[in-house]
Structure 1
């Protein structure tokens, strides 16, 4: 990628992350990137297009990180894969907080721009979902539960937990990294809850047999 374009994208992601789309200033972006405003618009045409290209850039980074992770743990079963990816997402968010914060700016966009970005997100998730759906095929699911529904539930649970930890340790990331072993233990407990539920099944089974 052209070095000037890289500078503009970096400055733009920082600006959008800090101020959100509406309040972000192309003047500030040009100043941070050390380019003229005219050159900025020469490459990106409009503020909206600049934001979209930033989102593509960050999604591409996220996808690359997931693919690298998937190769590293390709022999893990589905549940270990999901658990470790949840921890990896926490680590990545701490190592690159600007990207993580930028991804959340989608919540405050206009309906039109949000629709475009959500389309980009769905497209970016296709490859990762294919990997996860292939993994979950090895799991014996309860009758009536589809692989797609199981995947949605499990990823939603671990995404929620990861976001909870990031909120809890937002101002002390080093402490979070030091507590990853404890978080791993808690993740094991959570995975057991997902696998086996929270109810004692024996009384129900006895009642049915009577």
Structure 2
């Protein structure tokens, strides 16, 4: 009996292409910058998703949706996160374990590590305002990690919070500057007054 040829390996089925967004919505930041977000990513922003649902998709797509208290730079970060995670299913987390039990995935950790402290704080506030729930969890977890094992004075350094001593120095410098300006103004008035009086004679 002739040897049968070994079966050839079948190629793995090609992954289904990701659906393309049918249209985009225009979000306007508080500093008047327009940022686009796809219809696929919108559900990540609960606040905006509810607004669009109330207006209707077609009407919302034709209008600019204002976002108060969020700058263009921060809004771009929030939208970028939503676009990356539009199809991701996140595990349920109990509120009592938050943020201690929250685990930040590698991509999200790298995303947050690139941010400066002020950018991270602004993104946290934006995630809270726009109800981007999982991003808010990750931001809070990252902030908790930054404060772990640090003293209150070290927190002030990390989060750029002015301490009382610096406030006192700044106030003293302001007072001294105001006094110098007042003395200059008094001298100028003394010099100008005689010439004015002479001119009136």
Structure whose residues are more often helix by fraction: 1
TM-score, structure 1 length as denominator?
0.24
TM-score when normalising by structure 2: 0.24
Larger relative contact order (C-alpha < 8 A, sep ≥ 6)? 1
Structure 1 or 2: larger strand share?
2
Larger Rg: 2
